[in-house]
Structure 1
Amino acid sequence: MPHTLKRSLLSLGAVLALILLALWLSGGLLALERWVIEAQRAVQNQLAAGVRAIKQGQPGALAALLAVCFGYGVLHAAGPGHGKVLIGGYGMGRRVAFWSLAGVSLTASLAQSAVAVALVYAGVAVLGWSREATQSVAQDVMAPIGTLAIAAVGLWLALRGLRKVWQAAAPPHHDHDHHDHDHDHHHDDTCGCGHSHGPSLAEVQAATRWQDRAALIVGVALRPCSGALFLLILTWQLGIALAGVAGAFAMGLGTAVVTVAVAGMAVWAREGALANLPFQRTARILPWVEVIAGSLITAIALTMLGQVL
């Protein structure tokens, strides 16, 4: 692909991301969100019908239920939620490779399903909770904890970005031997002048550390899908628990479709914004991008926390 065409395609990603951000901030996506919420309610009725079909032994009922669950997962991820905010904001703020971020998105979505399974079976099967009690724990306890985890990840990003800004702005340190006047300079990013000019190429392009990935996965997983809880409790009560577990993970795969797409959009937008910049300027701008992305994640998470409390 010609270099000019590649840069144009990357720049298009940045433009599309700005348009979507403007629509979201202005409330232009509220109609879409309302439609998604209504569609989720309609699909929940199909989930109940699918569960009854399995209980009655109808042929193909399990496959049909899994398909409905997958669709519900897509709708769940497309609606209002924190997973897209975290994955998208992190992808914008950190120069992580798409496949690495996509892997985190998939793992986080499946971990969210696993948390739903663990919550239902620990609550219903072990502790004897009712459906209302289990859903109350998910909404009143786990949702605030998960939202706080999102805010913590955003704050972590912002503070790490500020630390890099401060390090880049600090005057270079020279270590002089005044006896023979040999100069010993420590180079993080060699440019011929003996000074450090911000993050090195290896640092900017390195994959995120395992702590980053773990924080992202935990932040998403701590808020289990309400549809998965509904399905798991219903199938447990009807004695077809394994169908519920399979359905919960089908929902996770559906959720992953959207979060992986968000990861791709974030990487596309980030690289588009940086495509026309020389490396030295990119190295100086990236910490500020991390600060802005982290601050946005924190602000959005705190707003969501106010809604769930």
Structure 2
Amino acid sequence: MTHFLGAAHAQSSLGIGTNDGIAPTTGPFAHVLMWINLRQQEFYRALAGAMKAMREDGSKLWLLIGLSFAYGIFHAAGPGHGKAVISSYMVANEVALKRGIMLSFVSALLQALTAILVMMLAYFVLRGTAISMTDAAWFLEIMSYVFVTLFGAWLLWRKAGPAVLRLFGASPPYSLSAAHAGHSHAGHAHSVHAHSQHSHALRAHAGRDDDAHDHDHGTHNHHHGHGHGGHDHHHNAAGEVCETCGHSHAPDPALLSG
């Protein structure tokens, strides 16, 4: 276990409490990776020097802020999970470019503020010793892996969970979002039609002139009743779930209006 913890500390991505040795790099882009590694080490040393200078001279704070900002730009240019997540979200939801840029700025700002708050808390609680800060960095990394894994599992279950339940014969929980007013009958429709007012003026019926007459049909409705064979009407109360279709039927607005 001690060997495992030591290996984890040596692999700290934050460069806290670890030496600055360069791991051997191979492959077609070895020289590019080597150059990036060297620049990162230079930034680490510059940041460490700026922090020491700030303790002696408060005006060196701006130097530290400038170096941190430059390092943030340099780090953001490389690949990262944040850019992959935002890009995937934009592609999956067809988000406009303007909104995607805004999401990038907001996520970067929240990430920076979170990192500052966490490291300030760790510094004041642990008094900033190299070993304790390394332990804190390792712990935070492990916890971040756990939270990302749990969040990913939750998102996966939201999308695939109902299909898995149906596959094993279980029904997913009913949702009230499917509630609708009234009900439908498969195979036929209920319709009400009206005959507008019209008149018959001096027309011969069946060739008989003596039966000519005038008459008016006032506006009236024909309600055609019909029987429902093979199914029952069960009117559920508001909020109840229909046993037949699995939906919650809201009351008809016409009934509520009185």
TM over 0.5: no
Structure number with greater CO (CA < 8 Å, separation at least 6) is 1
Task: Please identify which structure carries the higher helix content.
Answer: 1
Task: Please identify which structure carries the higher strand content.
Answer: 2
Q: TM-score, normalised by structure 2?
A: 0.43
Bigger Cα Rg: 2
